[in-house]
């Protein structure tokens, strides 16, 4: 398919306007359930193409995702959509967040790799760097917006209290948080309600819990055996609702968190198309009701990938 045909094709339904393609997989091997490794250049372009054709217009990347930015940028330019796509990227955790020259240079490098004039959103990648706001980072971020290097700024966090801190701060317009059918911490803390109250965009990552929710039980490794009881409950829940685990995982997030954007990666164009199709489909109310009963409290080491064995 040519660049022109991608840009001029018939309008697509907007069902996937709240679906974001996560592109960590384009720059490195990512996810506990990754079977195919990192896609090559051709497959990466096909993944981006499938996302665009499915109605996805936002792409999530990061300076720390290997060469994800460069691969994504090459694909965007190949199809002539670099000025239409909305790109979210994140500052590399290892740069000095209080050094204006270092931050500006990092963002300029991202723009060059992506081949775009402006990021849709620049995010802080790790919540511990929020402490830098009072050390000059807030002013640096404001200048980046004023210089039109990014349309807005946000932060990717793990802890609910950090999410609330970002939502209530005038320095940020967006926040990215983990949430899925098993991980209900952000819900319980009122993060989604507060985001709506303060008019902040909220992006959900870990919809598949880094692929754990999609793993066949027989493929669960011995070192991840501690997650089997919870995973068995989820597999049975999906079956009872007449859904695949993919449909249950996506359907839960879409139905429970209406208006939030979901960042979902893929290893193949087929997975992208399946995600788009699933996102647009309704799920039975029983899924939400039973999920509330089964996953009110889940062991932290199951839902926090940072605690998983390497």
- Distance from C-alpha of 286 to C-alpha of 238, rounded to nearest angstrom: 10
> Would you say 28 and 68 are in contact if contact means Cβ atoms under 8 Å apart?
yes
Tell whether the model's pLDDT for residue 127 goes beyond 60: yes
> The tokens of 151 are what?
């349309």
Distance CA 73, CA 279 (A): 25
* 98 phi-psi bin (left φ>0, alpha ψ -120 to 50, beta other): alpha
* HEC per residue, the chain: CCHHHHHHCCCCCHHHCCEEEECHHHHCCCCCCCCCCCCCHHHHHHHHHHHHHCCCCEEECCCCCCCHHHHHHHHHHHCCCCCCCEEEEECCCCCCCCCHHHHHHHHHHHHHHHCCCCECEEEECCHHHHHHHHHCHHHHHHHHHHCCCECCEEEECCCHHHHHHHHHCCCCCEEEEECCCCCCHHHHCCHHHHHHHHCCEEEEECCCCCCHHHCCHHHCCHHHHHHHHHHHHHHHHHHHCCCCHHHHHHHHHHHHCCCCEEEEECCCHHHHHHHHHHHCCCCCHHHHHHHHHHCCCCCHHHHCHHHCCC
pLDDT at residue 1 greater than cutoff 50: no
**Is a pLDDT exceeding 90 seen at residue 29?**
no
**Residue of 69, 22, 79 whose CA lies nearest to 45:** 79
Task: Report the percent of the chain where pLDDT is more than 70.
Answer: 93
pLDDT tens digit string along 50-98?
Answer: 999 999 999 999 999 999 999 999 999 999 999 999 999 999 999 999 9
Confidence bin at 2 (pLDDT 50/70/90): low
Q: Does domain 13-211+256-281 have CATH number 3.40.1350.10?
A: no
Q: What would the mean pLDDT of 178-202 be, rounded to a whole number?
A: 97
Contact by Cβ (8 Å): 53, 12: yes
For residues 240 and 91, what is the distance between their CA atoms, to the nearest angstrom?
Answer: 42
Whole-number Å distance between alpha carbons of 258 and 75: 30
Mean pLDDT over residues 121-133, rounded? 97
**If you search the block for the tokens 């022109």, which residue do you land on?**
4
The angle, 0 to 180 degrees and rounded to 10, between the axes of the packed helices 269-279 and 245-256 is 50
The whole-number average pLDDT for the span 191-206 is 98
**Cα separation, 160 vs 245, whole angstroms:** 26
CA-CA distance, 104 to 118, in Å (whole number)? Answer: 13
Residue written as token pair 């981006």 = 48
Predicted local distance difference test score (pLDDT) of residue 35? 57
pLDDT confidence of residue 28 = 77
């Amino acid at each position: 398919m040519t660049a022109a045909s991608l840009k001029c094709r018939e309008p697509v339904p907007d069902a996937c306007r709240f679906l974001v393609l996560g592109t960590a997989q384009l720059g490195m091997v990512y996810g506990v359930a990754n079977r195919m490794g990192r896609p090559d250049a051709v497959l990466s372009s096909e993944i981006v193409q499938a996302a665009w054709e499915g109605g996805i217009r936002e792409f999530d990347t990061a300076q720390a995702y290997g060469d994800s930015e460069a691969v994504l940028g090459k694909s965007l330019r190949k199809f002539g959509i670099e000025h239409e796509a909305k790109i979210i990227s994140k500052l590399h955790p290892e740069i000095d967040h209080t050094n204006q020259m270092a931050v500006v240079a990092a963002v300029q490098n991202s723009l060059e790799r992506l081949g775009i004039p402006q990021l849709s959103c620049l995010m802080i990648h790790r919540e511990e760097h929020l402490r830098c706001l009072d050390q000059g980072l807030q002013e640096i971020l404001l200048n980046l917006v004023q210089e039109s290097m990014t349309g807005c700024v946000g932060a990717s966090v793990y802890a609910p209290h950090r999410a609330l801190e970002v939502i209530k701060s005038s320095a940020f317009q967006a926040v990215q948080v983990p949430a899925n059918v098993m991980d209900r911490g952000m819900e319980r803390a009122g993060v989604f309600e507060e985001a709506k109250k303060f008019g902040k965009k909220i992006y959900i990552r870990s919809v598949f819990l880094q692929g754990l929710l999609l793993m066949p039980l027989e493929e669960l490794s011995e070192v991840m055996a501690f997650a089997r009881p919870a995973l068995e409950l989820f597999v049975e829940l999906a079956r009872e609702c007449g859904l695949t685990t993919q449909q249950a995982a996506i359907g839960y997030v879409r139905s429970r968190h209406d208006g939030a954007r979901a960042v979902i990666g893929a290893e193949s164009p087929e997975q992208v198309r399946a995600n788009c199709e699933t996102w647009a489909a309704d799920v039975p109310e029983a899924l939400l009701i039973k999920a509330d009963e089964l996953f009110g409290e889940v062991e932290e080491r199951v839902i926090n990938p940072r605690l998983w064995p390497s």
